[in-house]
Structure 1
Amino acid sequence: MDPAAHSLTLSLIGGGFVAAALHTALPTHWLPFVLVGRAQGWTGRQTLWAAAAAAFAHTLSTATVGLVIIAAGLAIDHWITGLLPYLAGGALLGMGGWYLWRYSRRPARGVGAQAVAAERTTGHGHAAAFWGLIVMLAVSPGEVLLPLYLGAANAGVPALLALTVAFWAGATLGMVVLTGFAWAGSTALKLERLARYEGLILGLALIGLGLVVLFHPH
């Protein structure tokens, strides 16, 4: 690799790390983890673990789409980047609807702290919430990052792998840091009084985020 190409590749990798980290500032990359984590009664560590796992899935889907675009040509780019945001929005709407449905099935009165705790510690509920968050980002690759794959296409497989690692590191750092800050803020607000209504609040919030994703210009 000549010096000019090497310099370009390094610039793309560094830019990929920064772009991935900045990309996670979108609320869909951290707010659902705080909302779901509180609703499920997760610890801060469990919530951050979910964010880190979702960052890996997000990077994997971005890399997959990027490689598909390189292999199939630019014509497929418009189709893929136009479809997947709707899948992500649909996942958010589905999770929000699930929480509203679960909230509607709770007894209207006499729900004490023990009942709320029992609801939170249901194993199936934890698994569904965790994998729902993973799928939400897995079907929503970082579209803003895809052009960087095209820029590194001629640099060879090692450069593409390095770019993918940079995406993963930036996305993980951004999502974990932002989720951690948001989690600490929500804990400081002492929201225990809202425990009875958090299923309703969570469902409406996730549906709101889903609508933003669906109707935001892509």
Structure 2
Amino acid sequence: MDSILIGSLTLSLLHALIPSHWLPFVTIGQTERWSLRQTLTVTTIAGLAHTISTTLLGVLVSLAGWQLAENYHDLSERAIPLLLLALGLWYLMQHLRHRHVHDHIDTDTARKARSFSALLLSLGLAMFLSPCLEIEAYFLSAGAKGWSAVLLVALIYNVVTLSGMLVMVAIGRRGLQRVNPHWFEHYENLITGLTLVGLAILNFFIEF
């Protein structure tokens, strides 16, 4: 159970720090001359749309984890780290191919919707339709443990991701974007891939 909590916390924090989860809100907010309160409001609503869609998908994945544990106990203990490893290797391949798979928001398209309500709808919809798949491995694992574990993973993911996004947006408004966060964005696939591979190796030696 500890590996599920540590892994969920690690991935949630990592995603909150990825620029594609907060930088568009900073840049659009500055372009539209939003106040800090308006920017954080939009971030909260869009962030909730993102975490809710991820959680809904996670609940469905949890059902698969429950069935896996019921019928193939030994397999269920290996399925999660193998899934994490596969995802990690996929992200590493994307890095080698120089593709960015975390671009949830088309900033140029969003900026064309000039009204506040139109921007809010555009950003919220973009985030809702792009759930994060990495955390689903832990929903699958939690499903094998029961619904209390699923609820705990969902709580960790929602609170940490949304809180992290809000903190990064608030800091970004004060000038963090001048430090060139695009460096992190360029290497986000590499960082995500190495994190997932590391968690997979860790989970091979820790019982779920």
TM-score range, shorter chain: 0.5 to 0.7
Query: Alpha-carbon deviation of 1:186?
Result: 7.0
Does the CA-based 8 Å contact 1:36-1:129 persist in structure 2?
no
Does the CA-based 8 Å contact 1:55-1:172 persist in structure 2?
yes
Query: Alpha-carbon deviation of 1:174?
Result: 1.1
Does the CA-based 8 Å contact 2:21-2:165 persist in structure 1?
yes
Q: Which residue of 1 aligns with 2:159?
A: 169
Query: Alpha-carbon deviation of 1:180?
Result: 0.9
Query: What code does the residue aligned with 2:60 have?
Result: V
Q: How many residues align?
A: 153
Q: Provide Cα deviations, 1:185-214, integer angstroms capped at 9, x if missing partner.
A: 1799xxxxxxxxxxxxxxxxxxxx9xx99x
Q: Provide Cα deviations, 1:139-178, integer angstroms capped at 9, x if missing partner.
A: 1112221111111112211221121111011101210111
Q: Provide Cα deviations, 1:59-115, integer angstroms capped at 9, x if missing partner.
A: 1111111222333679xx9xxx99xxx9985x734x523635x7xxxxxxxxxxxxx
- Provide the TM-score with structure 1 as the length reference: 0.58
Q: Which residue of 2 aligns with 1:155?
A: 145
Does the CA-based 8 Å contact 1:32-1:133 persist in structure 2?
no
Q: Which residue of 1 aligns with 2:170?
A: 180
Q: Which residue of 2 aligns with 1:92?
A: 105
Q: Percent identity?
A: 27
Gaps of 5+ in 2: 69-82, 91-99, 179-184, 194-208
Rounded to whole Å, the distance in 1 between the matches of 2:118 and 2:101 is 17
Does the CA-based 8 Å contact 1:14-1:166 persist in structure 2?
no
Of 40, 48, 57, 1:56 maps to 48
The 1:42/1:157 distance shift into structure 2, 3 A limit, reads same
What's the C-alpha RMSD, in Å, of the aligned pairs?
3.5
Rounded to whole Å, the distance in 2 between the matches of 1:68 and 1:134 is 22
Alignment map for 1:1-218 (pairs within 5 Å): 8=1, 10-71=2-63, 92-93=105-106, 96-97=108-109, 99=111, 125-185=115-175
Rounded to whole Å, the distance in 1 between the matches of 2:30 and 2:172 is 11
Query: Alpha-carbon deviation of 1:131?
Result: 1.8
Does the CA-based 8 Å contact 1:13-1:163 persist in structure 2?
yes
Does the CA-based 8 Å contact 2:62-2:141 persist in structure 1?
no
